[in-house]
Structure 1
Amino acid sequence: MESAEPRTSWTFVTNHARILAMILRDPEVRLRDLADGCGLTERAAGAIVRDLENAGYLTRVRHGRRNHYKVTPGTRFRHPAEGHHEIAHLLHLLVEPDPRAGATSRPSTNGDHHERESHS
């Protein structure tokens, strides 16, 4: 029997989740940076942002030349198997800083601000 090649093309976290986490981390992140962070084109990243906005997971407001995003609190997973869980739990896991860093930043669920805690 032949040994199967390991599947390396899939991940546990989708680009939709990655982009939402990046927006939570930086509510004024540029589309170009979202695309780079996910290895996508700007067009694909823009389509994901529109998906998230249309589904109610975030809102977008124009501030001058930049977009300001706000992650909608209380939103839940889309699939019925996980639908009873809020997205915030996953997002906080994805945006939690490296514990080896000196200070931690805890993004608010709505993406408005970051609370800083200093660890001595």
Structure 2
Amino acid sequence: METQSDSRPTWTFLTNHARVLSLIARDPDIRLRDVAAACQLTERSVQGIVADLESAGYLTHTREGRRNRYRILPGTELRHPAEAGRTVEALLRLLETDLTRTPSA
């Protein structure tokens, strides 16, 4: 929905699941508290998203002391039929693309 004072669209290109996955891929030791802050979500929401991603086979975690360390499973295929055959690795590469760099010769 849009308000009178803010005419910017309210939709975004990425889902919260994609944002969380991307942040974890960049920093496997990231705290869910920090993921929540970066994504503007509650910690509880992020915990649910991480649980979804784990149960779907996109990532795993191991306990190291008092912290979790996450591991992305890059070969896992995306679930939607429109992305059939594409992997998490391809999605994360796409999100990390720097369009300001010049292509290599």
The alignment's TM-score, normalised by the length of structure 2, stands at: 0.82
Does residue 45 of structure 1 match 2:46?
yes
Give the secondary-structure state (helix, strand or coil) at the position aligned to 2:78.
coil
Aligned to 1:90: 91
Change (3 A) 1:66 1:96: farther
Deviation at 1:95, TM superposition (A): 3.4
Q: Which residue of 1 aligns with 2:21?
A: 20
Identify the range of structure 1 (56-65 vs 8-17) with the bigger mean alpha-carbon deviation.
Answer: 8-17
- Alignment coverage as a number of residue pairs: 96
Aligned AA (2:58): Y
Which runs of structure 2 are paired with 1:1-120 in the superposition (5 Å)? Answer: 8-96=9-97
Q: Which structure exhibits the higher relative contact order, with contacts defined as CA atoms closer than 8 Å and separated by 6 or more residues?
A: 1
RMSD in angstroms over aligned alpha carbons?
2.1
Maintained 8 Å contact 2:73/2:88? no
Relative to the length of structure 1, the TM-score reads: 0.72
**Identity across the alignment (%):** 55
**Is there any run of 5+ residues in structure 2 with no aligned partner, and where?**
1-5
Deviations 1:22-74 (A, max 9, x none): 11100010000110111100000110000000100000100001100000121
Quote how far apart the aligned CAs of 1:84 are. 1.2
More strand by share: 1
Q: 1:6 to 1:82 in 2, by over 3 A?
A: farther
Report the Cα offset of residue 93 of structure 1: 2.4
Report which stretch shifted further, 83-92 or 39-48.
Answer: 83-92
Looking at secondary structure, tell me which structure has more helix per residue: 2
Listed as ranges, the gaps of 5+ residues in structure 1 are: 101-120
Distance 2:72 2:19 in 1: 13
